[in-house]
Amino acid sequence: MSASRAPGLTASVPYQPVASSAEIEGRAPATRPSRVPTAGARNAAGDAAPSMDVVPSVEVVPSVEVVPSVEVVAPVESVDWFVAGENGSVGPPMARPRAAAGALFFDEEGRVLLVEPSYKPGWDIPGGFIEPGESPYAACVREVEEEIGIVPPIGSLLVVDWASDEHTGDMLLFVFDGGLLPSDWRERIRLDMNEIINCAFTPLSDVGEKLPVLHARRVRAAAGLRAGHGGAGYLEHGYLTPAAPAVSSAPAGAAQRTESTE
């Protein structure tokens, strides 16, 4: 069957042939609407005859249930507050310090274990930087194993030290209590020569000769809290904060006058 196009339309419609008058007359008559007699009507002879009124057809329309419209609410997008703070678009700027964790191990003479890294000058305690998603304690255990090859029991937190400068930025340093490292554990030490080239137990009085000034203050403060059973301490640049007040037998007023004259 061929198709024709109506003007102004782009869709194709089937071609409809036009029927002749003879074909129309030969077709069966269309179904007419039914009629019912009505009282009082008469026929052509004058006799009473029922009239045929057309009863209109009734179209049955199925009922349609109206469904109330539902408002779709889009989920609220999560905000990365760190990125937003850095871009200055949402919220105040927030600090993002680097973090590291290490442990203090002692021998029977009270000396502390120090290691000599291959990648930087000077010495340090066993430990290293905390990886994303890692806790400070887990980082301490991992770094100890990586650097000296053992996984001894590691105790509670001794100090957390906050430090900042223009070169390294903000840093948080966690120091845990490795406790007394017995001889059988010391014999198992195996250095990772790619990172650590030497290790030694050093008297606390000599740590200033091997460690940078800030590191030495931190180690001495941690060892002092451990010896005094003072629990964990908070440091800033290696200094206990707030500083413990000095004990004086002088009256408070006298102490204030003395401080004002210095």
Contacts of 139 (CB under 8 A, 6+ apart): 99, 100, 101, 127, 128, 129, 130, 131
- Bridge partners (DSSP) of residue 4 are 13
pLDDT given at position 166: 81
| Cβ-based neighbour number of residue 176 at 10 Å | 25
pLDDT given at position 126: 97
Distances (CA, A) of 5 to 18, 94, 257: 16, 69, 109
Contacts of 63 (CB under 8 A, 6+ apart): none
- Which DSSP state fits 145? H
pLDDT given at position 261: 36
pLDDT given at position 10: 43
Question: Beta strands of the chain (E only): which ranges?
Answer: 3-4, 13-14, 35-38, 51-54, 98-106, 112-117, 127-129, 157-165, 169-180, 196-202, 233-236, 239-240
First to last CA, the chain: 114
Q: 């340090």: which residue's tokens? A: 124
pLDDT given at position 92: 84
Question: What is the C-alpha separation between 201 and 137, in angstroms, rounded?
Answer: 23
Q: 């419209």: which residue's tokens? A: 69
Q: What angle do CA 230, 109, 126 make, to 5 degrees?
A: 70
Question: What is the C-alpha separation between 62 and 51, in angstroms, rounded?
Answer: 33
C-alpha Rg value of the chain to the nearest Å: 48
Helix (H) or strand (E) holding 17: none
From first to last of the 262 residues of the chain, give the pLDDT tens digit.
444 444 444 444 444 555 555 554 555 555 554 444 444 445 555 555 555 555 555 565 566 566 566 565 656 566 555 555 555 556 788 888 999 999 999 999 999 999 999 988 899 999 999 999 999 999 999 999 999 999 999 999 999 999 998 888 999 999 999 999 999 999 999 999 899 999 999 999 999 999 999 999 999 999 999 998 878 999 999 999 998 665 444 444 443 433 333 3
Strand pairing class (196-202; 112-117): antiparallel
Question: What is the C-alpha separation between 211 and 116, in angstroms, rounded?
Answer: 10
